[in-house]
Homo-oligomer: A and B are copies of this chain.
Amino acid sequence: MNLKGRHLIDPNDFTIDELNSILDLAVDMKKDLSRYSNLCKGKILATLFYEPSTRTRLSFESAMLRMGGNVLGFADSTTSSASKGESLSDTIRVINGYADIAVIRHPKEGSAKLASEHSYISVINGGDGGHQHPTQTLTDLLTIKLYKDNIENLKVALCGDLKYGRTVHSLIKTLARYNNISFYLVSPNQLKLPEYIKENVKEKYNATIFETENLEDVINEVDILYMTRIQRERFFNEEDYLKLKNSYILTKDKISKSKENMLIMHPLPRVNEIDSSVDSDKRAVYFEQAHNGVFVRMALMAKLLGVV
């Protein structure tokens, strides 16, 4: 499937077939990394990070280096011309002469989209405010595919701050497009998934959604438990916070009766929402999930550059 020159701003930019072609390539890259070590020789990735991110930036860099390509860019806006008042559309037009593909992380929603409209090299959205984070979604999909073989007929719990988390929004909207995915949304009342996303997913894709405040209600049923962080300052009052906070901290006890092949996922970084005692459980795949981010970004860039 030819994706040369395309941009990736929103996971919905790609059809399910296109997404799957990236995932299939990523699976093969993970299996046989050395076979791809010269794929991007001579290619340059520009990493334009207007706000810091270890994970996203370094996984992109690793992905490009693993394919024999090179990287240039900046890690925060203070070392860029943004501090001189240059517009993002001017910056990307200049970068077009320096690099063959670019990833942009920007605090403002829609910025990656704007950049892509002024770019003839492929632009990848590395996170734009609370909006989208499509390569995290690809990473999540690859992890599911590697363990469950097919992305279908799955009960998926998403737990934590479902209101503001862009990771979760991207993932739900994308998973809903696959066959027979049921969602179990676990969050405090104030941090529920926005209604417009729920409606969209239900109506458009006919997905089943079950909502609860209590993780215990679903933890023994689901195939995937996707944890996210709840920031204390998101709660409306201290009372609610104290009442609920323990409910959203995963411990070894809580998963004692969960399915044996349940996947515990997390986009990382975590603070304390997964107790470290869980790390050694074979169902805890969040570190491997982070590692999968390299392979899926390799596959994505190779496709957009048209070298495979």
Task: Choose the segment among A96-104, A171-179, A190-198, A208-216 that binds chain B (4+ C-beta atoms closer than 8 Å).
Answer: A96-104
Partner of A91 from B54, B65, B71, B93 at Cβ < 8 Å: B54
Which one of B65, B80, B90, B291 lies within 8 Å of A97 (CB-CB)?
A: B291
A74 on the interface (CB 8 Å rule)? yes
Which residues of B lie under 8 Å from residue A168 when comparing CB positions? none
Among A81-89, A144-152, A159-167, A217-225, the stretch in contact with B = A81-89
- Inter-chain CA distance A81–B85, complex, in Å, is 26
A242 interface residue per 8 A CB criterion: no
Out of B78, B97, B290, name the residue touching A52 (CB < 8 Å).
B78
* Closest B residue by C-beta to A274: B90
Establish whether residues B98 and A294, one from each chain, have CB atoms under 8 Å apart when the complex forms.
yes
Contact A62 B72 (CB under 8 A): yes
* Protomer copies: 3
Interfacial chain B residues near A307, Cβ < 8 Å: none
Bound-state CA distance A56–B251 (Å) is 40
B79 near A268 with CB under 8 A, answer no
- Tell me the complex Cα distance, A294–B96, Å: 11
A95 located at the interface, meaning its Cβ lies under 8 Å from any Cβ of chain B in the complex: yes
Specify the chain B residue showing the minimal Cβ separation from A51. Answer: B79
Pick from B44, B84, B271: contact of A65, CB below 8 A.
B44
Query: In the assembly, what is the distance between CA of A78 and CA of B78, in Å?
Result: 11
Complex: A216 Cα to B286 Cα, angstroms = 61
Q: What are the nearest 8 A-B pairs in CB distance?
A: A97-B291, A86-B269, A62-B98, A54-B81, A75-B79, A61-B72, A65-B70, A52-B79
Interface residues of A (CB under 8 A from B): 34, 37, 42, 44, 46, 49, 52-55, 58-59, 61-62, 65-66, 70-76, 78-86, 90-91, 93-99, 268-271, 287-288, 290-294
- With contacts A52-B80, A59-B97 known, what are 10 further pairs, Cβ within 8 A? A37-B42, A53-B81, A58-B73, A58-B95, A58-B98, A61-B72, A62-B98, A74-B75, A90-B270, A91-B269
